Amino acid sequence: MNRFAGKVAFVTGGGHGIGRATAGRLAAEGAAVVLADLDLDAAQRAAADLRAAGRTASAVRLDITDRASVEAAVADSVDGRLDVLVNTAGGDYASVDPMQGDEPWTQLQDLNLTGTVRCIRACRPALLADPDGGAVVTVGSINGLVAFGSDPYSAAKAGLSCLTLDLAARYAARGLRFNLVAPGTVRARNRDGQPGALDGLTRCYPLGRIGEPEDIAAAITFLASGDASWMTGVVLPVEGGVQTGPMAHLARH
């Protein structure tokens, strides 16, 4: 497929995990991709790998918790027009207790909700200049839809779902689409060096495994493409059946 030929995509968190897999999928389908990440070295390595494969890719440093960094990253890498924005940057701190005080709560809201707003705000003028209608796809979480714990993170991800619906309604008349993918457990670098750490979670998933970054990248790429041109305001769970499977209750304990 060549669904993104001639298009430009900006992927936050592009140096690792879901962001890197998504950038690779978009580039393989013809997009010129900008991999934006706080870990610039990782983003540069990922971009170099794509270029070595004959793709068009560049890297830029991005700290989504810093407005100036977001604005500079977009200004330095987007030349007036942008077709696709993918928001994957974010994270959780498993040890955070929201009852400890305002600081951990505020930090996780800033990282997972407000940071995404900063990226959308900075990219909005270029996205609206897309004559074919731009697309924003944000990575939320199954935590934002059902009770899986990690209260501050889950609340922020739920906020992303509401934000997606509101922006979809606001910008539909201008051709700019907003959709969200809500993954279940996905293999990520924070599990590196922990052999078997995810094995116990597979029993929660009726499809018999946890997700891979490529599973989420496939859904993101579909929602960003012309194949989804009549879809906006969608919150799409990509979670191996964990919400409805007979073992779903295990994920909550």
Residues identified as active-site: 153
DSSP letter assigned to residue 189:
G
Pull the structure tokens for residue 178. Answer: 């907003």
R_g (Cα) of the chain, nearest Å: 17
Question: Which helix H or strand E contains 121, and what residues bound it?
Answer: helix 115-128
Alpha carbon distance 22, 139 (integer Å): 11
Pull the structure tokens for residue 164. Answer: 């997606």
Starting at the edge strand found earlier in the chain, the sheet holding 135-139 runs: 56-61, 32-37, 8-12, 84-87, 135-139, 177-183, 235-238
Beta strands per DSSP E along the chain: 8-12, 32-37, 56-61, 84-87, 135-139, 177-183, 235-238
Q: Are 137 and 86 in contact (CB under 8 A)?
A: yes
